[in-house]
Amino acid sequence: MTNSDTPPAKVHDLGGEPGGAAIDRAERAVTFWEQRVDALLVLLADRERRIMDVAELRRGIESLGPEAYDSLNYYERWAASIASTVVEKGIVTQAELDQRVAEIRARKTAGQ
Amino acid sequence: MSARFKIGDRVRIDDRDPPVHHRVPRYARGHVGVVERLCGAFGQPELLAYGGDGDPAQMLYRVHLKQTELWADYAENPDDTLEIEIFEHWLSPA
Amino acid sequence: MTHDHSHPPPQPDHPEPSSDYHFLGMALRELLIEKGVFTADEERRVIEVSESWSPARGARIVARAWSDPDFKARLLTDGRATAETMGVEITAPELVVVENTEQVHNVVVCTLCSCYPRSLLGLPPKWYKSTDYRKRVVYEPRSVLAEFDTHLADHVEVRVHDSTADMRYLVLPRRPHGSDGLDQKALAALVTRDSMIGVTEALSPQP
């Protein structure tokens, strides 16, 4: 497998890392909220807005840390990265996000 | 833009681990391959990742390497190869 | 091995979110719309365009390449411009088309994340984004291909492409034996998503 003496790989740098298992070939449809997260990046990165570049998405995902990379699924990592980027850029505040997440959770609990 | 390398040049991929976002996998670092094509100039990922415009754009190359060069214990066909995109600022002549 | 070209459609009746990150995605979208960063209509259009992208787009290009040597030669030199002459818009900065031959079999991965030619193949399958695929295919490609029931002759060179920067990749699978009399529509039906990633060959025509 890997034969480099460089420092331990960052969590996303997976080529040649040990521990790879049999490939799970099951198809899994993208859910509606995942389509919306996907669309978020497309809209933020498009030529008209240029609010975010895909490189920033990747950097944000890489800096989530190994625990997040293990416990969050693909689009959850996207959501986390996009959130931290738009907060960094002052487009939304962390407080606004936290409050809205709480409201949405309350809505869902109330069955809306 | 003028490119430092041309198709067929032997190049070595830098063996470094910058603290910033970058797009050179660990397995490729320090290895020698051959330029397969020039892809054109694109913004540097190290700069784009922090909200910059990536300038100055760097020439991007596809580098062709032997798997036996990349992996000391490569267990499959010794003629197998791998091709990877590397920016000029990560390459030196070999 | 699946011969199914109709991948499950996205679910409009989405399952209830179960983690804060699902709520975070929703919160982001609501706030950004409220702040006028984009509109719900623009969001809907983006989703519709993404849904319109499927492996059928890539399959048309492969079928044409199999039928038209001049088109194939141009496709291998300048993938994006050539694909666009067929009216297939490519969103990637550039498209690299790599041809499977009797001597070389190509397979594509993005070890660092999940780069994929979405405008040609739709969204990537879960396995393409998996840590297992990203870890293994660069150093034991034949073992991975075997899990897709793909077994290559010993003399074939397997060439792995790691999509690390701005290029996106399409594998041009080998034209199957027995397909000589087929028109492009019938040829396209033999070209699966997995054969354009490189983990399988194209389908054989029905006898």
B71 contacts C166? CB cut-off 8 A:
no
Q: Is residue C42 part of a domain?
A: yes
Same domain, C40 and C129: no
Does the domain made of B10-93 have the CATH classification 2.30.30.50?
A: yes
- What residues in C contact A32, CB-CB < 8 Å? 10-14
Same domain, C29 and C128: no
Q: Which two tokens stand for residue B49?
A: 């990742």
Same domain, C185 and C90: yes
Same domain, C145 and C101: yes
Closest by CA position to B25, among listed C90, C61, C115, C57: C115
What interhelical angle do C69-77 and C55-67 show, nearest 10? 120
Same domain, C44 and C62: no
User: Any chain A CB within 8 A of the CB of C32?
Assistant: yes
Architecture of the CATH domain A32-109: Orthogonal Bundle (1.10)
Same domain, C24 and C109: no
Same domain, C82 and C122: yes
Residue A91 CB-density burial (10 A; 0-12 exposed, 13-18 middle, 19+ buried): middle
Decide if C110 is catalytic: yes
Residue C7 CB-density burial (10 A; 0-12 exposed, 13-18 middle, 19+ buried): middle
The reply to whether omega before B56 is within 30° of 0 (cis) is yes
Q: Is residue C207 part of a domain?
A: no
Same domain, C119 and C35: no
The ipTM estimated for the assembled molecules is: 0.97
Please name the residues in contact with A44: beta carbons below 8 A apart, sequence gap of 6 or more: A51, A52, A82, A86, C32, C37
Q: Which of C112, C158, C167 sits opposite B80 (nearest CB)?
A: C158
Domain closes at, from C52, C67, C92? C52
Closest by CA position to C53, among listed C127, C123, C107: C123
Q: Which of C50, C52, C113, C143 is catalytic?
A: C113
Same domain, C59 and C131: yes
Q: Per residue of chain C (207 residues), what is the pLDDT tens digit?
A: 444 444 443 333 344 445 778 899 999 999 999 999 999 999 999 999 999 999 999 999 999 999 999 999 999 999 999 999 999 999 999 999 999 999 999 999 999 999 999 999 999 999 999 999 999 999 999 999 999 999 999 999 999 999 999 999 999 999 999 999 999 999 999 999 999 999 999 999 987
Contact B45, C123 (CB under 8 A): no
Q: What number of C-beta contacts closer than 8 Å exist between A and B?
A: 52
User: Any chain A CB within 8 A of the CB of C21?
Assistant: yes
User: Any chain C CB within 8 A of the CB of A9?
Assistant: no
Q: What is the pLDDT of residues B18-47, one digit of tens each?
A: 989 999 999 999 999 999 999 999 999 999
Q: Which two tokens stand for residue A24?
A: 């799970």
Q: How far is it, in rounded angstroms, from Cα C201 to Cα C150?
A: 7
The model's pTM is 0.92
Query: What SS3 string covers A45-111?
Result: HCCCCCCCCHHHHHHHHHCCCHHHHHHCCHHHHHHHHHHHHHHHCCCCCHHHHHHHHHHHHHHHHCC
- What residues in B contact C94, CB-CB < 8 Å? 39-40
Please name the residues in contact with A32: beta carbons below 8 A apart, sequence gap of 6 or more: C10, C11, C12, C13, C14
Decide if C119 is catalytic: no
User: Any chain A CB within 8 A of the CB of C37?
Assistant: yes
Q: Which of C54, C67, C114, C179 is catalytic?
A: C114
B51 contacts A53? CB cut-off 8 A:
yes
Q: Is residue C83 part of a domain?
A: yes
Total count of domains within chain C: 2
Q: Per residue of chain A (112 residues), what is the pLDDT tens digit?
A: 444 333 444 889 999 999 999 999 999 999 999 999 999 999 999 999 999 999 999 999 998 888 776 788 899 999 999 999 999 999 999 999 999 999 999 998 887 6
Q: Which two tokens stand for residue C169?
A: 């990749």
Same domain, C93 and C133: yes
C143 contacts B76? CB cut-off 8 A:
yes
Q: Which of B23, B45, B83 sits opposite C159 (nearest CB)?
A: B83
Report the length, in residues, of chain B.
94
Same domain, C87 and C102: yes
Give strand pairing partners of B87: B60
Decide if C6 is catalytic: no
A-interface mutation test, from C1, C11, C24, most A Cβ less than 10 A away: C24
Q: Which domain holds residue C84?
A: 55-197
Q: Is residue C167 part of a domain?
A: yes
Q: What DSSP element (H or E) covers C61?
A: helix C55-67
Decide if C18 is catalytic: no
Q: Is residue C38 part of a domain?
A: yes
Q: Is residue C3 part of a domain?
A: no
